Amino acid sequence: MRRNILVIGSGGREHAIGWKLSQSPEVDKVFHAPGNGGTQNNIPVNPMNLEGLLRFAEKEKCFTVVGPEGPLDRGIVDLFQEKDMQIFGPSRTAARLETSKVFAKNFMNKYNIPTADFRIFQRPEDAFDYIRSKVFPIVVKADGLASGKGAIVCHTLDEANNAIEKIMINKEFGAAGEKVVVEDYLRGYEVSFICISDGVNVVSLETSQDHKQVFDGDVGPNTGGMGSYSPVPMVSDELYESILNNIIIKTIDGMRTEGIKFKGVLYAGIMISNNKPYVLEFNCRFGDPETQPQLLRMNSDLLPYLDASLDGKLDALELVKWRPGAAVSVVMASRGYPGTYDKGLPIKGLDIARTKDVMIFHSGTSKKNNSIVTNGGRVLSITAIGNSIGEAVKRAYKVANTIEFEGAHYRKDIGYQALSYIRDN
């Protein structure tokens, strides 16, 4: 019997998840709550309206997939499980690896998982005193969820003071700033290492790399992500195994020792420094924009892995099969993002841009009078596949250059570290 799917969220990640699951022979219909201008079968339920989502899932007999972190923090998985409804994602307790930087750092310290040296502060005056003794740069992080913008790299004492004031005194991230983590700055390159776990076993996806800063050359404020590619050529087989064994498996085993079975996606944001991996942060859901290129390259059916995560049977499945080559995703954003930006601007060129090697995943879009308009900071993820990263990059930018909306902004250097590495090796 074919099943219905409910994908919670409205971003490019959720569009990609729904697109991939719709290809499964086991799936009848995919619903999106609330979805965007590019998704089908949208239902007007806010991702934080847990009871409304539950009622819809019960009515349509849906297998539910949680996209963003907010509903996980609110305990949506626990609620659905109490009602015997199938839902993919970690429990509220397990999701603390993402929802509390303090919990995550203390957990890593306890289980000897490599991460930057750190201190935790509950009072801003104590944090101010501590940073006066530090060698810069340092990183100041809000404890709780801050839409990917709560980690601030500070190159001077003034910047660090401003970051602490912003988080703890001005409360720009609300309750997320009740505590801060101040940690040493690690130099190197970042890798997103994402896997699916059933609480004991893990199946890892291919590596990817995000580009967090808003401008070329990794300049400007952090965003939710301006683009990504997969796989990461700098990660050798030896380094891959080191991340898997010394970080991912240690984390799953450590959570189980704490009495918590981690079922769902474990995403480790890794800094490779002197060819050694260190955890920058954990996320407990698929990445955005990493999911877009990963799922475009994924030849296997995604649904059986989600089922096996719930059932504790990942060890019975084959490894994920991937299309050879690479995929690249370029995020087109609104002018002003990650600050304030306009909405409702018409988008031109979407129909002309479609090709067999390029998929346009929508994020901040909506439909207005049968036209697609902007409705968010990150608007579109132009995602292309190719026989090489270079080929995928060219295809993605060729399409991005044909799409227009007022104030459209995107980085012109997505994949630059990989291209430089390939050129030099």
pLDDT at 281: 96
Tell me: domain 3-89, CATH 3.30.70.270, correct?
no
Are the CB atoms for 296 and 320 separated by under 8 Å?
no
> What pLDDT is stored for residue 148 in this prediction?
74
For the entire predicted model, the pTM comes to 0.96
pLDDT of residue 146: 87
Domains of the chain, by residue range, sit at: 3-89, 117-184, 189-424
Residue ranges, the chain, pLDDT below 70: 353-354
pLDDT value for 14: 98
Sequence-separated (6 or more) residues with CB below 8 Å from residue 96: 103, 104
Side-chain-side CA neighbours of residue 11 (13 Å): 22
Q: Are strands 118-121 and 138-142 parallel, antiparallel or unpaired?
A: unpaired
Which listed CATH number (3.40.50.300, 3.20.20.100, 3.40.718.10, 3.30.470.20) goes with 189-424?
A: 3.30.470.20
Residue 382 makes CB contacts below 8 A (sequence gap 6+) with: 329, 330, 331, 332, 353, 358, 360, 396, 397, 399, 400, 403
Give me the pLDDT at residue 353, please: 62
**H/E segment holding residue 423:** helix 416-424
pLDDT tens track for 193-235: 999 999 999 999 999 999 999 999 999 988 999 999 999 999 9
C-alpha torsion sign, points 342, 399, 20, 149: negative
Per CATH, domain 117-184 is 3.30.1490.20 = yes
* In the block, residue with structure tokens 């390259």: 297
